Chain A
Amino acid sequence: MLAYAAKRIGLGAVQVLAVAVLAFALVELLPGDAAVALAGDQPDPANIARIREQMHLDEPALARLADWLGGLLTGDFGASIVSGRPVADLLATALEPTLILAAATLILLLPLSIGLGVAAARRQGRWPDRIITTFTVGLYSVPEFALAVLLVSVFAIGLAWLPPTAVGVPSLLAEPAVLVLPLLVLLARPICSIARLVRAGMIEALDSEYVAHARRAGVSERRVVLAHALPNAVTPATAQIARTADWLLGGVIVVESVFVIPGLGTALVDAVNARDLPVVQGIAVVFGATTVLVNLAADLVAFRLAPRMEVAR
């Protein structure tokens, strides 16, 4: 398993680099550069030329890419061409709120969605199952921004129970109340999709030969569900959980902008708007690495939960 993990990580590093180079090429293909974006509605050509020179944008694109790749080998992410701040600093600042939100969401998501899925499966076709199914399908079809606006107007503005945004809050952990509404929005759709997968997996498992065998052998129903059926039932959901973790770690831009959370999604949008290539590439590396690691972790967990399954190679 270790050799498998090492191989996957090596392959992942190549994928991450490819993503960064692709991001570079895509931003390079956009019309205009950082100098034009910075000049905004004061597009004095002489000024734009001077900014371009200062930012070394007059050098060929390939030379700038090579410079950046060279720096990356020594662990240097380069500096923002707009402010001159080290990209590593910028990433660290933006990563903190994103990590806090992602971690809090996952901690709540797993027990809630698995619990709902198991509960629905055990009462398959009866009213708790119907309620849970109707509720999850309904909630799943509400887009994040609509839910966010609705929650803010009801719970923050109307009832004034919770703060509407995280504006000016130095750290999300310092004022946990600001996390409540963003967490509800982030949880809504993943809970539905994962609960439904767990329900389906659980129904199949409870119907299987080995569960029937365990029951015949006199194993308690509780133990049948938790120790025998559940690990198999959760396995199909691990890929979805990984996708959700990846989505969260990428900074969910809708949630970040409605609730004023300066995370990775906001940083990416700002950087693309400013055509700040070193920052865009830095974020691409982080996104790529996250995706590779999360998927690797998911495969390893799936392998542990149901060792009989072949790991996809």
Chain B
Amino acid sequence: MTQQPNRPHLSRRVVLSAAGLAVAASGAVLAACGSEPAATGPKTGGTLRAAFAGGGADETIDPHRVNLFADAARAKAVYDKLADLGADMAAVPRLAESWTPDADLTVWTVSLREAAFHDGSPVRAADVLYSYRRIANPEETFRAKSDLTPIDLDASRAVDDRTVEFVLKHHLAEFPNCLAAFGAYIVPEGSDTFDAPVGSGPFKFVSFTPGSEFTVERFDEYWDGAPKLDRLQIVVADEESARINALLGGQVEYAHDLSATTARANEANDAVALVASPGSNMLGFAMKTDRAPFDDPRVRQAMFLLCDRDELVESVLSGRGQTGNDLYGLGFEHYAAHIPQRERDLATATALLAEAGVETITLDTADVGSGFTEAAQIFAEQVREAGVDVEINERNADTYWSEVLTEGQIASYRSGAMPIASHISQRLLTESPTNVTQWHHADFDELYLQLQSTADEAARDQLYQEIQQRLHDEGGYLVWGFADWIIGTLPGVHGVEQAPANTLDWARFDKVWMD
């Protein structure tokens, strides 16, 4: 792979706009899209109020401590990362202008674009190194720390003010993903308190009250073009019903994370525009491949064959989602789309289970997300049809993720969007911190290392396909669907993209404008 210059990420937007015009011309109504172009073009001015679920009085605006969607949206308004993820999870250069690896993919030279912080000082290599070292501090617990572990920050250096040389601890073909890590924001050298945060992002900080509101105003010198909005206010409303009520009542112009039920109820409502991002939230079940009964590949195969994915998508997601094929990352870069869709086969599954001698299964679930326990109930019914007794074990929601990492047999599972390589490194290697399927295979680890040391794009993609074929055949993740991510706006709000949560074009308020 050679350098990746300014990727023209405008292409999708242009295509969408063109589609919008075509649809409008044919007289149809593009009700499901909030970004239809108006005849007059983007307008400048106005205050956009956006409602997000929050974290109460304990919220912080330290950009390296992001955790919730609201934290990420606030950090994104004020700060930039070196790169961010496109809708297909490929890294897109942001403060980095380009990145070039050496021949064995262990030293990466990153050129910074000409950008300034809100106080007028330029963004320098020293700021980048300071930010990354702060995140990687062993005494601290910043979220992006694990993503930055491949970087040897003591050996990395500033070549000049606008060039950073990152020395890695091992080969890493997908290193740009690290630059796009959740929470890896660039702060000015020396920043350690964030009462009045200064970043290089599209908006300048105005005020923040934890658990209530956050206000920023336009930064005219933003390197990616000044925002259209004068001001952005992010307000906290924890209940989904409160967010949709605030939107319907005109108290906010943007409501983040609406349920499929709300979307269905408001489909024909002219007072709101719904923006649905496909592929945002993977839903499935994680089987522990290291213990009975799922250490037997036949039993895993039987689960795959017993799952009626269409029924789950229809009833749990109200049809607002896509069917899964037991693989992570539908629609993302390197996704193995050629593998045929798995269909339900009750007879084969029943035979497999009888052969393996399985009589009972305990399915763990908890109320940690909308539709979570419902999906478990429906899937349990589907499995019972094969004559197996399924017991549902409902666990405490607050400690669910920590418990099912090591306990139980099969558990309800979900995942937000991330590159397929990150999914593998975080969850499927022997040393992975959250290996919930307990998938420990030295030859699989080896295959992944090989992938990360392969510079050639085509050869690397071949390895991605190989890895996914293996996971599809005998892995521990049963992926039944991908839920849409639903955002509601008032009809006068434009430029809200269909982007999975936490990607570049999600909560991209610098591109939003209002009538």
Cα separation A167 to B141 with both chains bound (whole Å): 31
Q: Are A262 and B368 in contact (CB under 8 A)?
A: no
Jot down 18 A-B pairs with beta carbons below 8 A, ordered by A.
Answer: A31-B398, A32-B402, A38-B67, A51-B141, A83-B57, A152-B249, A156-B249, A157-B248, A160-B250, A165-B242, A167-B236, A167-B237, A168-B233, A258-B239, A260-B242, A262-B212, A266-B238, A274-B58
Q: Are A83 and B235 in contact (CB under 8 A)?
A: no
Interface 0/1 of A215-254, CB less than 8 Å to B: 0000000000000000000000000000000000000000
Q: Are A165 and B249 in contact (CB under 8 A)?
A: yes
Closest residue of chain A to B65 (Cβ to Cβ) is A83
Q: Are B401 and A270 in contact (CB under 8 A)?
A: no
Q: Which residues of B lie under 8 Å from residue A168 when comparing CB positions?
A: 49, 51, 212-213, 233, 235-236, 251-252
Q: Are B398 and A262 in contact (CB under 8 A)?
A: no
Helix, strand, loop or mixed for chain B's interface? mixed
CB distance from A23 to the nearest CB of B (A): 16
Cα separation A85 to B209 with both chains bound (whole Å): 13
Known: A163-B251, A168-B252. A93 touches B57 (CB 8 A): yes
Closest residue of chain A to B255 (Cβ to Cβ) is A167
Known: A36-B402, A37-B399, A167-B235. A47 touches B58 (CB 8 A): no
- The interface of chain B, by Cβ under 8 A from chain A, is 49, 51, 55-60, 67, 139, 141, 143, 145-146, 209-213, 233, 235-239, 241-242, 245-246, 248-252, 368, 396, 398-399, 401-403, 405, 414-415, 433-434
Q: Are A94 and B398 in contact (CB under 8 A)?
A: no
How many residues in A have their beta carbons less than 8 Å from beta carbons of B?
Answer: 50
Interface 0/1 of A132-165, CB less than 8 Å to B: 0000000000000000010010001100100111
Q: Which residues of B lie under 8 Å from residue A77 when comparing CB positions?
A: none
Cα separation A93 to B55 with both chains bound (whole Å): 15
A24, CB-defined interface residue at 8 Å:
no
Q: Are A50 and B249 in contact (CB under 8 A)?
A: no
Q: Which residues of B lie under 8 Å from residue A31 when comparing CB positions?
A: 396, 398-399, 403
Within 27-43 of A, Cβ neighbours of B (below 8 Å) are at 30-32, 36-43
Interface 0/1 of A266-309, CB less than 8 Å to B: 11001101111000000000000000000000000000000000
Q: Which residues of B lie under 8 Å from residue A39 when comparing CB positions?
A: 401-402
- Of A83, A157, A165, which is in contact with the most chain B CB atoms at under 10 Å from its CB? A165
Q: Are A257 and B239 in contact (CB under 8 A)?
A: yes
Q: Are A167 and B238 in contact (CB under 8 A)?
A: no
Cα separation A202 to B224 with both chains bound (whole Å): 73
Q: Which residues of B lie under 8 Å from residue A188 when comparing CB positions?
A: none
Q: Which residues of B lie under 8 Å from residue A40 when comparing CB positions?
A: 67, 401
Q: Which residues of B lie under 8 Å from residue A80 when comparing CB positions?
A: 57-58
Q: Are B249 and A82 in contact (CB under 8 A)?
A: no
Cα separation A267 to B55 with both chains bound (whole Å): 10
Cα separation A270 to B236 with both chains bound (whole Å): 13
CB distance from A93 to the nearest CB of B (A): 6
Cα separation A30 to B399 with both chains bound (whole Å): 10
Within 8 Å by CB of B245, from A38, A51, A164, A273, lies: A164
